Structure 1
């Protein structure tokens, strides 16, 4: 969440920045009203506490002298009732302020372009040349259905729409992609392989910003009368490892990578990408998370994005890097790069990785800190990035490496994971 001082001391300026960058309307009047009442009650609470302490001391002195303490006891009792009411109201006000603050998105970096949606994103670079085909291009669904390798009908029978059953060599290719990515990030890029829970508590979802704003996009379950959530990305589990912690400076940066299942309700997708594997309720990703100091976070962001780019380059998949405008960025991000891979069937680039620097936004929610040179704790910076989405990588490999007869060439870098198969047909 944002630094509370921005809402206490600079609420008007902060509201203007959020409106101009993200189109978000901060309830300024409500915040100012709550803050004014909070200050008033806090002052009265402190005054009552002082009065109670003074009268309690006077009671002790009166008793020692044998004086009648009944009037003083009655006065203290009155203070106590008012004090309890003041303290209760203070808790209510602070809860109201926190509820507002938890719904406020991160402020974009100064270098983030102004814009409302993906049409305002700015292309940074491109790699590779899209392949020219001398036959009619099939999409990944047509390629996968040939041998029943990609089976949405059976998945719908089992679970409903937006699920997929993979079989045979296509399932093996999917697994090979995940193994290749995880090996690359751990062996070449220095991320620590980490296996994390797929089910987390509400505190973890709150820490990385999925709650309370995006609850409708989450799959929730009841476990022993307690609410738990299926993770939408292993970013949640990985980042929350440092929740309520103080990390020694010499351990930074922490770099972690995980291959996991991910679950999203896609409540706001409104019928987009209903065909195939582009937008699923259950999918797999290799996720990168970095935890570092404020001074190093921008360099770490560039490094992380480059790590994701290397995946696509080794797979030989044309892509472009996009700097997202403020209106298209995620709730917790202050700067985001999307990598978009070329899909021949759509004749366009589609997102396959998103790498974000969240600054101290998540760390403040999680109370994740590091010990600076003077020994005092300070908020960390957190970063996350797809390294990359496995299902979308499978789609891109299938379409870019398809042959006229419907077979799929296996990228050279994946062949050691496929028993040296060079083609699946």
Structure 2
């Protein structure tokens, strides 16, 4: 979330930067500044009224002590009026502050200078590509057909139990899923990330802290009786572990990883692009989160990108990296790199990871600060990335590694799952 003083100091620059997202925020900025002006003037009036009331209270006491009862009672009548005025001003201040906060919640993060302008995924920039796309047999199948053929994922059984988008993994499919989770966690731990097991439900404050609320409220499963939300990603509970903290500069960076199931209510659509594992309402993901000094966050982002590259190299999956354009950039992100694996059987790229720097956007909502070497409190930078999301990685393995004799398991996963082929 932007701060008012940032908008005041950089108004025209921010308007231009947010135009990369296809937004004209000039009117919103004017409303923010007007709301802040009203809030400050109301606060000044309230402070003045309270000060006058306190002054009268002291004077009344002195007058009673000196026997000037008539003057004291006259001042008491004035304090009654001042208390009524202060109550009205307090209500007006609360309303003005709430209006300002709601306005600020509607403004997305300022795109980094590297973010290209654009309206949708077609304007994203490819920055890297690696891996040889395999040539498959003419009889090659998409992963949903392979899942049925080898009886490793049952989509219809998931519909019976819950509904569309909730698959059931079976036998070697379940073991491969578990192997991927363990492998991703081990790779992250080896890279210096500390593993956490976190709740799969969060409160409203956590949703606001990382920016899922109010922007993505309709995409989250809401447990109304307890006012809790099923998490859309481990980023939410992991980052919120530090909500409200004041860290010391020598505690940075803080690096975390965690596995969780993820739940998303995203509106469904039809067609091959959402079949099988391509889009689910419940899926597994291993996440990495970093709390960084502002001066080090973009170097950290580059390191996260290299880390995900290393995992995909070991899996020997063909992949590419995209720098997201303004129109495809997440609400909270300043700069995002998407990783996509090529699905040979579907002849299309599948997104498997997003690695993002949020700069101070989340930290401001979280009130997450650090004390620098000069003793000054500053907002940290927060970053997160998928390392990795499982459904489409699994789809890529099934489709790209299929042979006439079965599905060959990437060598690096064999020690984790205990078999080298699904047949």
TM-score, structure 2 length as denominator? Answer: 0.95
The Cα offsets for residues 350-391 of structure 1, whole Å up to 9 and x where unpaired, read as: 211100000011111011111211223211111000001111
* Alignment of structure 1 residues 3-402 onto 2, 5 Å: 3-8=3-8, 10-11=10-11, 13-23=13-23, 25=25, 27-67=28-68, 68=70, 69-187=72-190, 189-222=191-224, 225-267=225-267, 269-271=268-270, 273-402=273-402
State the alpha-carbon separation in 2 of the partners of residues 159 and 139 from structure 1: 24
1:423 equivalent in structure 2: 421
Shift of 1:338: 0.6
Partner of 2:403: helix, strand, or coil?
A: coil
With over 3 angstroms needed to count, the CA separation of the structure-2 counterparts of 1:12 and 1:53, relative to structure 1, is farther
Q: How far did 1:88 drift? A: 1.1
How far off is 1:34 after superposition? 2.1
The residue matched to 1:364 in structure 2 has which SS? helix
Aligned residues: 419
Moved more, 21-30 or 253-262: 21-30
**Distance in 1 between residues matched to 2:307 and 2:350, nearest whole Å:** 18
Higher deviation after alignment, 191-200 or 47-56: 47-56
Q: Distance in 2 between matches of 1:252 and 1:41?
A: 39
**Cα distance in 2 for residues equivalent to 1:380 and 1:35:** 24
**1:6, 1:14 within 8 Å by CA — same for their partners in 2?**
no
Q: Give the Cα separation in 1 of the matches to 2:47 and 2:194.
A: 49
Asked if 2 retains the 8 angstrom alpha-carbon contact of 1:305 and 1:355, the reply is yes
Moved over 6 A (4+): none
Check the 8 A contact 2:21/2:329 in 1, yes or no.
Answer: no
Q: CA deviation at 1:150?
A: 1.7
Q: CA deviation digits over 1:117-164, x for unaligned, max 9?
A: 111111111111101124332100011101332211111011111111
Segments of structure 2 that go 5 or more residues without pairing to the other structure are none
Question: Can you list the C-alpha shifts for 1:189-228, whole angstroms capped at 9, x where unaligned?
Answer: 1111111111111111111000111111001114xx4311
Structure 2 SS opposite 1:266: coil
- CA pair 36-287 structure 1, distance change in 2 beyond 3 A: same
**Which is worse superposed, 245-254 or 292-301?**
245-254
Shift in Å at residue 296 of structure 1? 0.6
Q: CA offset at residue 179 of structure 1?
A: 1.1
CA positional deviation for 1:81? 0.6
Please tell me whether the aligned partners of residues 20 and 116 of structure 2 are also in contact (alpha carbons under 8 angstroms): no
Deviations 1:168-201 (A, max 9, x none): 11221111111111111112x1111111111111
Q: 1:41–1:86: 8 Å Cα contact kept in structure 2?
A: yes
1:329 and 1:336 in contact (8 A); partners too = yes
CA shift, 1:10, in A, is 4.8
- Structure 2: distance between partners of 1:399 and 1:279: 16
Shift of 1:16: 4.3
Shift of 1:47: 2.0
Which position in structure 2 is the counterpart of 1:404? 404
Question: Unmatched 5+ residue regions in structure 1?
Answer: none
Assess, with a 3 A threshold, how the Cα gap between structure 1 residues 233 and 338 changes in structure 2: closer, same or farther.
same
TM-score by structure 1 length?
0.94
CA distance in 1, matches of 2:106, 2:369: 22
1:338 match: secondary structure: strand
Change (3 A) 1:271 1:84: farther
Deviation of 1:19 (Å): 3.3
